[in-house]
Amino acid sequence: MNRKKIIKNLKKSGVIFVDETNAYIDETVVIGAGTVIEPNVKITGKTVIGKNCVIGFCTDITDCEIADNVSIKHSVLTESKIGSETTVGPFCYVRPKCVVGKKVKLGDFVEIKNAKIDDGTKLSHLTYVGDADVGKNINFGCGTVVVNYDGKNKHRTVIEDGAFIGCNTNLVAPVRVGENAFTAAGSTITEDVPADNLAIARARQVNKAGWERPKKIEK
């Protein structure tokens, strides 16, 4: 079936195209009524998209299951599941084997891989979560990295419901952050954090009085 006929059939079923001349959709794709497809979108494979979604400009989706009322902007998603009312992007990368719950936020420059992200959790920006089981209503601060690879093997991280991950936290797998636990900004976490604890793993600040900037050596 050619591209124009595919789009014509989708329009008959209630899919809305902002610019149908710049949409690229496989015959195998299923899209629910009321979903808006913006320009330069590519949807391929066995992708199923629910009702009343927004698939934003320059989004690329392959073999995904996307529930109702999801918004995706300028992002790439592959072989994953996205729950209802979740927002993705802009500039988010969802790699294979991810299961994302309802009302999750995957913001700008967020990358997830082989991860489960449960309902209500927010990864707003500049975060990498790979090989992890992430609970409900967790907030990830900017610059968080799940350090899943030791050079030979991948290890999993577990973050339980209600935890708060401070900005620029490194979670060195395998590690578990307990329910409602906090990690202080700038921490590198290498040991489990019990529930309701605050983990601080950073060097104490030292200020050097009278310090002088290095001088440029003239050649």
> Residue 111 CB: number of other CB atoms within 10 A?
19
CA distances from 31 to 22, 68, 201 (A): 17, 10, 47
Cα(167)–Cα(140) distance, integer angstroms: 7
Cα(125)–Cα(141) distance, integer angstroms: 8
Please enumerate, as own/partner, the contacts of 105-108 that have beta carbons within 8 Å and a separation of 24 or more: 106/75
Helix H or strand E segment including 76: strand 76-78
Helix (H/G/I), strand (E/B), else coil: 93: strand
Distance of CA 141 to the CA centre of its chain: 13
Catalytic residue among 73, 105, 113, 125: 125
Candidates 87, 169, 85; CA nearest to 129 is 169
Cβ–Cβ under 8 Å, residues 148 and 169: no
Residue 155 bears catalytic tag: no
Name 20's Cβ contacts closer than 8 Å, sequence gap at least 6. 7, 11
- Catalytic residue numbers read 125
